[in-house]
A and B are shown apart, each in its own frame.
Chain A
Amino acid sequence: MEKRAIFSHRLLPYALLVPQLVITLVFFYWPASQAVWQSFLLQDAFGLSTSFIWFDNYRELFSQPDYYRTIGTTLVFSGSVAILSLSIALLLATQADKQLKGAGVYRTLLIWPYAVAPAVAGVLWAFMFQPSLGIVARGLRDYLGIDWNPLLDGNQAMILVVLAATWKQISYNFLFFLAGLQAIPRSVTEAAAIDGARPLRRFWTITFPLLSPTTFFLIVVNIVYAFFDTLGLIDTMTGGGPAKATETLVYKVYADGRLGGDLGGSAAQSVMLMIIVIALTAIQFRYVEKKVTY
């Protein structure tokens, strides 16, 4: 049945909507429209003159090999973060779902990393893995004999930001997976056990398919997270380096616009990112409601 609320005054519902609408307008539509406008403009180096150049910023963007490299970097980064954080969170959630002693403490501790601000987390990780000072970096070098230097080695820098970004996201995924697991009726898994399925088979044939709505939702959320929310992390840890090895799309927007002063080009990149988010959200809505149900 449709839910209906009765308001005492005709204007009240609008008044109640205003705060949310104002926030959306001020913090989303206004900057977004400015970005779109900006992406059609070109400014001289001193910001004294601005000219309207239609799609030249986009043409310029797509002619840079750098941009394609950044897309590649972003895909590697986001893919790794999503896969790692989802699989680790799922493993932890299945363990936490069992009746363990101290499960409450375990769950609470797992949620903490999510509360750490990205920049703070970035500084912590960068410090731990700093080649000459970092405690983990020293362990890697002294005990495992790894020539660890993410300041020079692009692959190592990438591994580092992937790990840090994963660590931060596990909490969130863990919460959703745990809730998803607890929503599966115990009798269904018991029935599968009685039906002769051993634990591992039970997981892949019963639990995992029943979790698929949660998993799909989390995949989209994680990709969006890795695309956008990791800016602070990357900035404090590697600054996109070395040699742009950890420069993702969103970091390039920041680097080209704020640091490089190319506002038009940077705006064109933001618009591209906006299109990606809109596409992801559309997919999410479409599939969550249709395909991924059982």
Chain B
Amino acid sequence: MAEVTLKDVRKIYPGGVEAVKGITFDVPDGHFCVLVGPSGCGKSTLLRMIAGVETISSGEIRIGERVVNDIEPSERDIAMVFQNYALYPHMRVYDNMAYGLRNRKMDKAEIDRRVRDAARILEIEPLLDRKPRALSGGQRQRVAMGRAIVRSPKAFLFDEPLSNLDAKLRVSMRVEIRKLQKTFGTTSVYVTHDQLEAMTLADMLVVMNAGRVEQIGAPLAVYEKPATTFVATFIGAPAMNLLTMSGAEPALLLGNGSIPSEGAIIGIRPEDLALAPPGAPADGGIALPLTVVAVERVGPESFVYGTLDRGDSIIVRLPGTHAPAPGERAVAVASRAKLHVFSADGGRRL
């Protein structure tokens, strides 16, 4: 049990590529922190730096009280679950789980007790004598989890652990990982590019882009108040609609004088929009006339793709299956309270 603290952490590869550009955050003890971002944003590199399998170019990483910059991964007392599971292919499941304990010269009886406990929790007891190649993807994932929990480490690190599983298994493992983490109360750092996984697992969400942190916060807080247009489009599916407006247009639309004259970007989530018949009044909110281009009906909801008269494309999310047909005219309406306003470069929330 420990908190994980990062202070201005950087990773500069030989050749000058800066993969991680000064990251500072603090995962409180027992919290589940999810690093989310598109591929290549530096999230995996950052995780590997915490694990110690990647060197730290500058800055400081602490696990508990200890600065671990120059400490070998074997001495950091953390456990990691890899995307490809990284099980030891020549060892039985039992030995895979016991390996870390044997390295610590733990008593044989204690090792046995811990491995069997973990196997019971993860429901892999019948698999203990098998080799990894005789297991399915989901079973391998459980063994990898087992290998992490038997050691009762200070922190769990997860590197996209679910991305090799099929969709159904991914959902059930997601729930299970969350449950296990709550049971053990171990500080965790979890890397994913899947915003749904990030939203459902995290106590604390760190959204990364191009080696930098875009926003840190509770998942719902990030969803409700995205700090930048990047976060706004990355969190939430389908992505938030962004309308670039110049001059006095945003101020007029919002009835608000504090919009800078160089313009702004207005964001509206598809779920905050509704459709009204053509010519419907704004009614204290905003009204955007559009032509429907396409409709996707997925059962509980429908997505309407349209082109606004001002030129932008827009997505509206409607409950149920009732939606206008392509080619029809409509007006997208939203209340002003649901609008997100960003600076013209998208880097700041106004």
Interface residues in chain A, defined as those with a beta carbon under 8 Å from any beta carbon in chain B: 185, 187-188, 190-198, 201, 205-206, 209-210, 212, 294
Closest approach, in angstroms, between the C-beta of A230 and any C-beta of chain B?
Answer: 34
Residues 55 to 114 of chain B near chain A (Cβ within 8 Å): 72-76, 78-80, 82-84, 86-90, 99-100, 103-104
- Chain B residue nearest to A193 (CB atoms) is B73
**Could you name 20 residue pairs across A and B whose Cβ atoms are closer than 8 Å?**
A185-B86, A187-B86, A188-B86, A188-B89, A190-B86, A191-B86, A191-B87, A191-B88, A193-B53, A193-B73, A194-B73, A195-B99, A195-B100, A195-B151, A196-B75, A196-B151, A198-B74, A209-B90, A212-B90, A294-B90
User: Which residues from chain A contact B82 at a C-beta distance below 8 Å?
Assistant: 187, 190-191
Residues 16 to 66 of chain B near chain A (Cβ within 8 Å): 51-53
User: Which residues from chain A contact B72 at a C-beta distance below 8 Å?
Assistant: 193, 198
Interface of B is mostly: loop
A-B contacts at CB below 8 angstroms, number: 67
Interface residues in chain B, defined as those with a beta carbon under 8 Å from any beta carbon in chain A: 51-53, 72-76, 78-80, 82-84, 86-90, 99-100, 103-104, 131, 147, 151
Contact of B52 among A193, A206, A294 (CB under 8 A): A193
**B88 contacts A196, C-beta separation under 8 Å:** no
Contact of A190 among B73, B147, B151 (CB under 8 A): B73
CA distance A185 to B82 in the complex (A): 11
Which of B80, B84, B86 has the most chain A CB within a 10 Å cutoff? B86
Interface of A is mostly: helix
**A194 contacts B51, C-beta separation under 8 Å:** yes
- Chain B residue nearest to A101 (CB atoms) is B14
CA distance A201 to B103 in the complex (A): 9
**A193 contacts B74, C-beta separation under 8 Å:** yes
- Chain A residue nearest to B133 (CB atoms) is A294
CA distance A210 to B131 in the complex (A): 13
User: Which residues from chain A contact B74 at a C-beta distance below 8 Å?
Assistant: 193-198
Closest approach, in angstroms, between the C-beta of A130 and any C-beta of chain B?
Answer: 47
CA distance A198 to B74 in the complex (A): 7
- Chain B residue nearest to A208 (CB atoms) is B90
**A206 contacts B51, C-beta separation under 8 Å:** no
CA distance A195 to B100 in the complex (A): 4
User: Which residues from chain A contact B78 at a C-beta distance below 8 Å?
Assistant: 194
CA distance A294 to B74 in the complex (A): 25
Please list the 5 inter-chain residue pairs (A to B) with the smallest Cβ-Cβ separation, ordered nearest first.
Answer: A294-B90, A195-B100, A187-B86, A196-B103, A191-B86
User: Which residues from chain B contact A209 at a C-beta distance below 8 Å?
Assistant: 90
Question: With A188-B88, A210-B89 in contact, is A196–B104 under 8 Å at CB?
Answer: yes
User: Which residues from chain A contact B100 at a C-beta distance below 8 Å?
Assistant: 194-196
Question: With A187-B82, A205-B99, A294-B131 in contact, is A192–B88 under 8 Å at CB?
Answer: yes
User: Which residues from chain A contact B88 at a C-beta distance below 8 Å?
Assistant: 188, 191-192, 206
Other contacts beyond A190-B53, A294-B131: 6, CB < 8 A: A187-B84, A188-B89, A193-B74, A195-B79, A209-B90, A210-B90
CA distance A237 to B84 in the complex (A): 52
User: Which residues from chain A contact B86 at a C-beta distance below 8 Å?
Assistant: 185, 187-188, 190-191
User: Which residues from chain A contact B147 at a C-beta distance below 8 Å?
Assistant: 191, 195
Closest approach, in angstroms, between the C-beta of B304 and any C-beta of chain A?
Answer: 44
Closest approach, in angstroms, between the C-beta of B144 and any C-beta of chain A?
Answer: 8
User: Which residues from chain A contact B99 at a C-beta distance below 8 Å?
Assistant: 192, 195, 197, 205
User: Which residues from chain A contact B131 at a C-beta distance below 8 Å?
Assistant: 294
Closest approach, in angstroms, between the C-beta of A5 and any C-beta of chain B?
Answer: 30
Closest approach, in angstroms, between the C-beta of B153 and any C-beta of chain A?
Answer: 9
CA distance A191 to B147 in the complex (A): 10
Closest approach, in angstroms, between the C-beta of A9 and any C-beta of chain B?
Answer: 42
CA distance A113 to B89 in the complex (A): 35
Contact of B103 among A188, A197, A294 (CB under 8 A): A197
Closest approach, in angstroms, between the C-beta of A168 and any C-beta of chain B?
Answer: 32
Closest approach, in angstroms, between the C-beta of B74 and any C-beta of chain A?
Answer: 4
User: Which residues from chain A contact B51 at a C-beta distance below 8 Å?
Assistant: 190, 194
**A194 contacts B90, C-beta separation under 8 Å:** no
User: Which residues from chain A contact B75 at a C-beta distance below 8 Å?
Assistant: 196
User: Which residues from chain A contact B90 at a C-beta distance below 8 Å?
Assistant: 209-210, 212, 294
User: Which residues from chain B contact A188 at a C-beta distance below 8 Å?
Assistant: 86-89
User: Which residues from chain A contact B76 at a C-beta distance below 8 Å?
Assistant: 194
Closest approach, in angstroms, between the C-beta of B273 and any C-beta of chain A?
Answer: 44
**B103 contacts A185, C-beta separation under 8 Å:** no
User: Which residues from chain B contact A191 at a C-beta distance below 8 Å?
Assistant: 80, 82, 86-88, 147
